[in-house]
Chain A
Amino acid sequence: MSKLRGAEAVIKALEREGVEVVFGVPGGATLPLYDALFDSSIRHILARHEQGAGHMAEGYAKATGRVGVAFATSGPGSTNLVTPLQDALMDSVPIVAITGQVARASIGNDAFQEADTSGIAMHCTKHSYLVTEPDELVDTVHEAFYLASSGRPGPVLVDVPKDVQVAEVDWHRTKHVNLPGFRPTEEGHVLQVRRAIELLKESEQPVLYVGGGVIKAEAHAELLRFAETANAPVVTTLMARGAFPDDHTLALGMPGMHGTYSAIIAMQKADLLVALGARFDDRVTGDPTRFAPKAKVIHVDIDPAEISKVRRADVPIVGDVRRVLEQMLTEIEKKGIALGSHADWLETVKGWQVEHPLHYEQSADGLIKPQYVIERFWAATGGEAVVVSGVGQHQMWLSQFWRYSRPRSLVTSGGLGTMGFGLPAAIGAKVARPDETVIVFDGDGSFQMTCQELITASTHGIPIKVAVINNTNLGMVRQWQKLFYNKRYSATDLNEHTPDFVMLAEAMGCAGLRATTPDEVDGVIEKALSIDDRPVVAEFRVDPEESVFPMVPTGASNDEVALGSEDLR
């Protein structure tokens, strides 16, 4: 054991965790930390707002599964991290936030830039620390990484008073983690696994309900084998898009409020749901009392609290979903169990797919349809890209009209629905995976919430593609006003107040492009994909009247899915 200055010890601990990049904004209470960072090989991406730094860390983590790291100073720096922390909590994203705090003697005295950061973070992290003992600093940083990335992943915050950053602290040659109250279960219970196989054997109409946990557990290969063994159709939630290839015959796409007709109805008619790393979110279930009324439920999740939280599970299995899928496959193979072919069921499901595919109509009056932009980007890239979204209509279209074939190819804010997530998350994803084409599809409303981060991308040489799907409105809110509030468009029209996105891009050191008619779309996409020396902002002026369908209105049963506005009258 030796002694180091606190700030140096933090940086060394980050290096030992394999951290290659930190996203942040410095401030008074992190001066020692940034001074120590100056000598480190760790790359620092200077965001323009701490919210941006937090979403960058999330984008980095979502695109790779590795822990993303954000730095912020005390007070406003830390409170600006609240949105990304809550976003990461809702979507189980492993990030570690390290924040500066006023000196220990000043805590509680309403000092300059003081906020109760660890207290605030208590509500929006998996765990939060305030380091008051310098000798606990190093262990705390390692514990934070362990907690963020183990079990159900999530955000962890470590608040470090400025005087602790300059104090002499213990440096251990090896990592110490002492968390007696944190012991995630990885292995599924053997008897429950057997009971699950029994239910599968009896089932005639099974559906695999796949959530983000499958991507986090890197279980996509096991899922493919399991689906083909069980002959069961697969729905992939927004957080699971890419966990199962969309071009597979068993793939039904996204379920829920804006899901495909076949995914929604297959769940409603199923006699068995196998929920894998999914949490029966209200955007999936609609009215939970009328959700999948005939289905028995096998629920596999690493977080016991998710099981039977919304829907009682007939067979609860706590465990790592990859491990449990392996266990189930082994059980089936070892005992030579033959699961049904479900030929009638698969034919019925196929019928729904053929009868009600996702569709949209090209505009008669020469306007670009937003779905068309997404389809053309897919065609131009062959789907070989990491796509990122903000939140709103464009996000749903990106889930619906991009054809996903691999995990971690969609980075989006699901649970919290954070507008402004897209651009900074795309920066984080591109930093993590520089060889991939990273395209963020953003709405004009969502984009304007964090668009100052364009300068972060251009100054750090992070050549992302930003496709602004500009319908000059807060489109999703407007859609609800159109359908349920008698077309009273209160405060959703951005038309008069929208900046010139091409000029904005150029002012921020990016290339700016614009398409206003359908025949310009391919040219703009080609240009956008060809520029690689700086970020590109391509604005697509799209039809503001286009709505997202299918749609299950809030509180309705999924049986009442509307395929167009005529179904809602």
Chain B
Amino acid sequence: MKHTLSVLVEDKPGVLARVAALFARRGFNIHSLAVGPIHETGRSRITLVVDANQTEQITKQLHKLVNILKVTEFGSDESVEREIMLVRINADATKRRQAIDAAQAFGCRTVDVGVNSITFEVVGHPGKLAAFLNVMRPFGVIDLVKSGRVAMARDAKAESQSA
């Protein structure tokens, strides 16, 4: 089981290094990591995917870092989670149509086409990315790059629609 931690931090030099050092020293695993500034100046958010059985200690240890302002833990259905993936597959002229059809079924964009390859961009829930990759594997995957996961809590007031 994995949980997502959303960590609001002060945008100070070395914050990411402190978080990484903490995980290394205490033997915590990081499955995914994404960092970026937010709408407020001087604040950034780090989104971490970690083992669910370690989240209590991880959360407490993160709180001890002076530049960390808030740590929120999301269980599986409590947040909207997204990743972005670029996949380049083997597809010459004979396979191109077939590949694009499959990609369209996932709502993917075609971002690059070569003589013997095609590259798709897929954005979505991590499960969608995995399903898309399964469909693409038979073509032969040439290259793949995936972002860390980002997550945001669902609006607790509204019964928000799962996407």
Contact = CB atoms under 8 A, between A and B. Distances in A.
B41 to A, nearest CB: 14
Contacts of B61: 305
B60 A179 contact: no
B56 interface: yes
Contacts of B17: 119, 122
A303 B21 contact: no
Nearest to B66: A127
Contacts of A132: 13
A180 B9 CA distance: 10
Given A122-B14, A123-B25, A130-B13, A305 B60 contact: yes
B69 A181 contact: yes
Interface in A98-125: 118-119, 122-123
Contact of A181 (B21, B56, B60, B67): B67
A308 interface: yes
A164 interface: no
B21 A305 contact: no
A123 B21 contact: yes
Interface string B59-74: 0110111111100000
Nearest to B42: A180
A181 B14 contact: no
B18 interface: yes
Contacts of A182: 66
Contacts of B14: 118-119, 122, 130
Interface string B29-67: 000000000000000000000000000110011011111
Contact of A304 (B10, B21, B63, B66): B63
Interface residues of A, number: 18
A22 interface: no
Interface in A273-323: 303-305, 308-309
A303 B63 CA distance: 10
Determine the interface band of chain B, counting residues with CB < 8 A from chain A: 10 to 19
A448 B76 CA distance: 57
A130 B25 CA distance: 22
Contact of A305 (B10, B64, B68, B69): B64
B15 to A, nearest CB: 10
Nearest to A182: B66
A166 B88 CA distance: 55
Given A122-B21, A123-B25, A181-B10, A147 B57 contact: no
A305 B66 contact: no
Interface in A153-183: 179-182
| Most chain B beta carbons < 10 A, residue from A180, A181, A308, A309 | A181
Contact of B63 (A118, A127, A305, A308): A305
Interface string B1-23: 00000000110011001100100
A179 B25 CA distance: 24
A180 B13 CA distance: 16
Main secondary structure of the interface of A (DSSP, over half): loop
Nearest to A307: B60
B66 A179 contact: yes
B63 A180 contact: no
Contact of B60 (A127, A130, A304): A304
Interface in A170-228: 179-182
A147 B66 CA distance: 9
A181 B25 contact: no
Contacts of A130: 13-14
Contacts of B10: 180-181
B66 to A, nearest CB: 5
Interface string A121-151: 0110011001010000000000000010000
Contacts of B66: 126-127, 147, 179, 181-182
Contacts of A179: 66
Contacts of B67: 181
A551 to B, nearest CB: 29
Contact of B57 (A122, A126, A305): A305
A180 B63 CA distance: 11
Nearest to B64: A305
Contacts of A126: 64, 66
A123 B10 CA distance: 19
Contacts of A127: 66
Nearest to B68: A181
A122 B24 CA distance: 13
Interface in A451-508: none
Nearest to A303: B64
Contacts of B21: 122-123
Nearest to B65: A181
Nearest to B70: A181
Contacts of B68: 181
A304 B57 CA distance: 9
A180 B69 contact: yes
B79 to A, nearest CB: 22
A123 B63 CA distance: 16
A286 to B, nearest CB: 22
Contacts of A304: 60, 63
A308 B69 contact: no
B63 to A, nearest CB: 7
B26 to A, nearest CB: 10
Contacts of A308: 56
B108 to A, nearest CB: 40
A122 B18 contact: yes
6 contacts: A126-B66, A127-B66, A179-B66, A181-B10, A181-B67, A305-B61
Please name the 6 residue pairs, one residue from A and one from B, whose CB atoms are nearest each other, closest first: A305-B60, A127-B66, A181-B69, A304-B60, A182-B66, A181-B68
Interface of A: 118-119, 122-123, 126-127, 130, 132, 147, 179-182, 303-305, 308-309
Given A305-B57, A305-B61, A305-B63, 5 more contacts: A119-B14, A123-B25, A126-B66, A147-B66, A309-B57
